[in-house]
Amino acid sequence: MLMIQKGPTRMNTRSPRSARWRARTLAAVGALALGLSMVAASTATADTVDDPREGLAAGLHDAEQAASNIALLSAQQKPSPFTTNSDLAFTGDYAIAGNYYGFQIYDVSDPAAPSLAGTFVCPGGQGDVSIYGDLLFMSVESAPGRLDCGTTTVSATDPQNFRGVRIFDISDILNPVQITAVQTCRGSHTHTVVEDPDDADNVYVYVSGTAGVRTTTTALQGCVNPTNANTEASHLDANGNPIDTARFQVEVIKVPLANPASAAVVNEARLFAAESGSPAGLWPGGSHGEGFQSTSATDACHDITAYPEIGLAAGACEGNGILIDISDPVNPVRLDAVTDPRFAYWHSATFNNDGTKVVFTDEWGGGSSPRCRAEDPKNWGANAIFDIVDGQLEFRSYYKMPAVQTAQENCVAHNGSLIPVPGRDIMVQAWYQGGLSIFDFTDSANPVEIAYFDRGPNDATRLVTGGYWSTYWYNGNVFGNEIGRGFDSLALQPSEFLSANEIEAAGEWTLDLFNAQAQPKIEHAPSFAVARSYIDQAERDGSLSGAALAEVRKHVDQAEKLSAGPSSDRAIKAQLDNAARKSGLAGSQVEAALLALAGTFG
């Protein structure tokens, strides 16, 4: 048996520090509570010997279901002629469901009964979508991508041939109008909308293209690929100078909000460059040795998640996870890069709300293979959770959906988002036909599953690719885009892991729009639900119990009762001040939440 212990490693990488990034990060992050040792590979979970997710009956729309602490509210079947459902974006009362054939528009004003409000046929996978104001962005990487949204494939030299990012005007959301389409050399597998807090006139789009270079296209210049090699030396000429290539870059599109039709690529960021100037400076691809993965070469990012409020982005870039300074969005700079011998393909990334952690996902098998079988390692095709320490990524643990799936179910880590529970780091995540898993990574070294929903396979006798592409939280509910089945809405249920107060508080934080790859800062306004969430957490961790707990709850209940009547603000505030004092938790989140709530009453 192989006894080697081998964990994630840091690449040789430049670590520039912009003063602007440091100022924002220090202000947003504050002090870090750091673990002292690297955890090998663990997923904390309840006993899974009799996990209800295992052995579910198959079926496309009648598969058996299993759920824990979450309830399926609605399952809308995918309409014709749409093919593979992909990513989701949200604006107001609408969810935009991306698809390889265009997108669907769902009215989610009633999460218990979403309705299909409109469709737009415009093929060219993957069809990932994002929204900014009245603009919708859509990734196009494959046939039959055309400028005119036609459904028949044209040659690479045809004037209609298109690969890149489409931009639509959705001011009339049920009647989208394409206003421009920005061509790129490798198309757009995914993209990320990036705001600059200091620039209200423009928005930026980072393009992640993973297809081959369009060397024969006549749509744009500079699409060259002199070699398919991936080493640092292979991209330097005889004099040690970098050679030009359309690989190893992230295009930055500038979109003037007053004239989005003039959107254009303004930079080709070399985020993977070596000290020598070679654009190929990170993982060159290949095996990490016996008993470990063979990891893809880093010549693009698969997904980049931007967190503009702290001036950072996290890139899941095929062979590496990277941390990026985006304080100047046009000129992003790599701060750190890591690789992992158990990762096959770095796929996506999610920050925690404080910006002190990143969850990276590994799409081992490309999303179309069964990678959650009994024989599959629990730390392959999983998440890797890192703390951010002084601008560097430090590994803490792995997390993988714990239920065993069959050979008829493609299953691996995929897209998810935070659930805005005050004081905790909780994420809902898609696992294709592994369903969705909700886990708490507040302790980054010990992630714990707290809820799940799963269906049986699409087919009992063969693997038919399907399952959740994305599951995201939006304004009080979880929504999922099922590749083959359609669009789902779900609701959290109170449990030993998550109280009714925590669910209510999460639902109080609402957005006008949401793109998972453009991560917003979660800021809870003081409320009774927020205060009670922290009280529930203190009871759960044992820091508040017995008579003190009863007194705190009595005073909070009385304050809420008084707030509904003619009582003075002073009387309400006195009850909340008493609750804070009797908690005995000076300096705690409980005290802070109670005093913040008291402050709203004068």
337 and 401 both lie in a single domain:
yes
Q: List 128's β-bridge partners, or say none.
A: none
380 and 474 both lie in a single domain:
yes
Per the domain annotation, does 523 fall within a domain? no
420 and 534 both lie in a single domain:
no
Per the domain annotation, does 458 fall within a domain? yes
Per the domain annotation, does 4 fall within a domain? no
Per the domain annotation, does 294 fall within a domain? yes
Give the pLDDT score at 29: 32
332 and 226 both lie in a single domain:
yes
Per the domain annotation, does 56 fall within a domain? yes
Query: Is 210 a residue whose pLDDT tops 60?
Result: yes
Q: Where among 490, 514, 538 does a domain terminate? A: 514
Query: Is 44 a residue whose pLDDT tops 50?
Result: no
> Structurally, how many domains does the chain consist of?
2
Q: Where among 460, 483, 514 does a domain terminate? A: 514
Q: How far apart are CA 248 and CA 277, in angstroms?
A: 12
For 552, the domain range is 528-599
Dig out the tokens for 9 from the structure: 């490693």
- Nearest partner of 11 among 245, 318, 302, 313, judged by Cα: 318
- Nearest partner of 126 among 203, 59, 207, judged by Cα: 207
558 and 429 both lie in a single domain:
no
475 and 591 both lie in a single domain:
no
Per the domain annotation, does 519 fall within a domain? no
474 and 546 both lie in a single domain:
no
Confidence category of residue 49, pLDDT binned at 50, 70, 90: low
> In percent, how much of the chain has pLDDT > 90?
92
| CATH number of the domain within which 486 lies | 2.130.10.10
Per the domain annotation, does 2 fall within a domain? no
Is residue 15 within 8 A of residue 391, CB to CB? The reply is yes
- Nearest partner of 232 among 279, 164, 291, judged by Cα: 279
Q: How far apart are CA 395 and CA 41, in angstroms?
A: 11
479 and 550 both lie in a single domain:
no
Q: Where among 514, 536, 558 does a domain terminate? A: 514
498 and 592 both lie in a single domain:
no
Complete DSSP assignment for 145-204: -BTT--SS---TTSTTB--EEEEEE-SSTTS-EEEEEEE-TT--SEEEEEEETTEEEEEE
331 and 208 both lie in a single domain:
yes
Per DSSP (E only), the strands in 499-601 are 513-514
222 and 279 both lie in a single domain:
yes
Query: Is 516 a residue whose pLDDT tops 70?
Result: yes
543-592 residue pLDDT tens? 999 999 999 999 999 999 999 999 999 999 999 999 999 999 999 999 99
65 and 185 both lie in a single domain:
yes
Residues in the chain: 602
Per the domain annotation, does 44 fall within a domain? yes
